[in-house]
């Protein structure tokens, strides 16, 4: 589902954010990417979500060859993935319902269909009664649920979450992780970047540790791994 082969990403400086990076994530897997700040997690996420291109190497996500995507094709690629950020990235002037409905609206779906799907999704994330509220009226955990609902409403094959619990306390973090588990159980490939090692330890998942732009540990390759 996600495949990176001999990826190099160098920023002006030069800063070698990723060097000879190889990664293969199968359909339906749920994977944690961990590592300290500056290890290359964010670069990896920018590449996988099509916000950036590698300096060299090949990336394929959800059947799209990222290297060959033209500017015009990027939006259509994004409609096949779901992205969640630490800072939620919700539109403040829209209600919870409107925020979640946005990807479907962009796809040009009819309002009746959108309404039904959004209501179902809000039910899944437990925000049915907050549908008419604006993001500012919600707690951090609730805002992240809205962001996850928006990332999943168009049923993407891949959900990419960059520090989804970074701004949340432990209890809320666990709630979000449970929600992501539920999403994964339904067949969505989930890729989560986090530096919260406690959270990682609580979950029996494949864990990839990166440092200075390289994979230093992949639990898949360890005989006693849980992943």
Residues at the interface with other proteins (CB under 8 A): 71-72, 75-79, 83, 89-94, 102-103, 105-108, 150
Closest to other proteins by CB, 131 vs 206, is 131
**Nearer Cβ to other proteins (23/104):** 104
Question: Looking at beta carbons only, is 17 or 100 nearer to other proteins?
Answer: 100
Q: Which two tokens stand for residue 18?
A: 């990723």
Taking each continuous run of H as one helix and of E as one strand, the counts in the chain are 7, 10
Torsion, CA 178, CA 183, CA 227, CA 25, rounded to 10: -140
Question: Residue 164: which of 137, 187, 183 has the closest Cα?
Answer: 183
Q: CB of residue 75 vs other proteins: minimum separation in angstroms?
A: 5
- Pick the closer one to other proteins by CB: 43 or 209: 43
- What values do phi and psi take at 114, rounded to 5? -60, -45
Q: What are the CA-CA distances from residue 7 to residues 12, 85, 218 (Å)?
A: 17, 23, 17
Cis peptide before 14 (omega within 30 of 0): yes
What 3-state DSSP class applies to 208?
A: strand
Tokens of 29: 């897997």
Distance in angstroms (rounded) separating the CA atoms of residues 73 and 69: 6
* Least spacing, CB of residue 82 vs other proteins, in Å: 9
Minimum CB distance to other proteins, residue 92 (Å):
8
Residue 78 Cβ vs other proteins, minimum distance, rounded to whole Å: 4
Task: State the nearest-atom distance from the C-beta of 137 to other proteins, in Å.
Answer: 14
- The least distance separating other proteins from the CB of residue 209, rounded to whole angstroms, comes to 27
Comparison of 8 and 77: residue with beta carbon closer to other proteins: 77
* Of 138, 195, 162, residue with least CA distance to 86: 162
Q: At what angle do helices 140-152 and 170-185 cross, to 10 degrees?
A: 10
Nearest to other proteins of 94, 195 (CB atom): 94
């Amino acid at each position: 589902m996600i495949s990176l082969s001999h990826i190099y990403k160098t920023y002006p400086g030069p800063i070698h954010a990723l060097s000879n990076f190889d990664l293969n994530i199968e359909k339906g897997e749920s994977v944690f990417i961990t590592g300290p700040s500056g290890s290359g997690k964010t670069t990896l996420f920018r590449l996988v979500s099509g916000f950036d291109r590698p300096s060299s190497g090949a990336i394929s996500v959800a059947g799209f060859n990222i290297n060959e995507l033209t500017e015009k094709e990027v939006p259509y690629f994004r409609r096949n993935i779901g992205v969640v950020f630490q800072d939620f990235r919700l539109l403040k002037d829209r209600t919870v319902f409107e925020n979640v409905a946005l990807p479907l609206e962009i796809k040009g779906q009819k309002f009746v269909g959108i309404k039904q799907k959004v209501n179902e999704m809000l039910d899944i994330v437990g925000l049915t009664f907050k549908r008419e509220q604006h993001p500012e009226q919600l707690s951090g955990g609730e805002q992240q649920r809205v962001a996850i609902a928006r990332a999943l409403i168009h049923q993407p094959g891949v959900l990419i979450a960059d520090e989804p619990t970074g701004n949340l306390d432990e209890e809320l973090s666990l709630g979000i992780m449970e929600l992501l588990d539920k999403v994964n159980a339904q067949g969505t490939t989930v890729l989560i970047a986090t530096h919260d090692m406690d959270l990682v330890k609580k979950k029996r998942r494949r864990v990839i540790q990166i440092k200075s732009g390289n994979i230093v540990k992949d639990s898949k390759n360890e005989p006693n791994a849980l992943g």
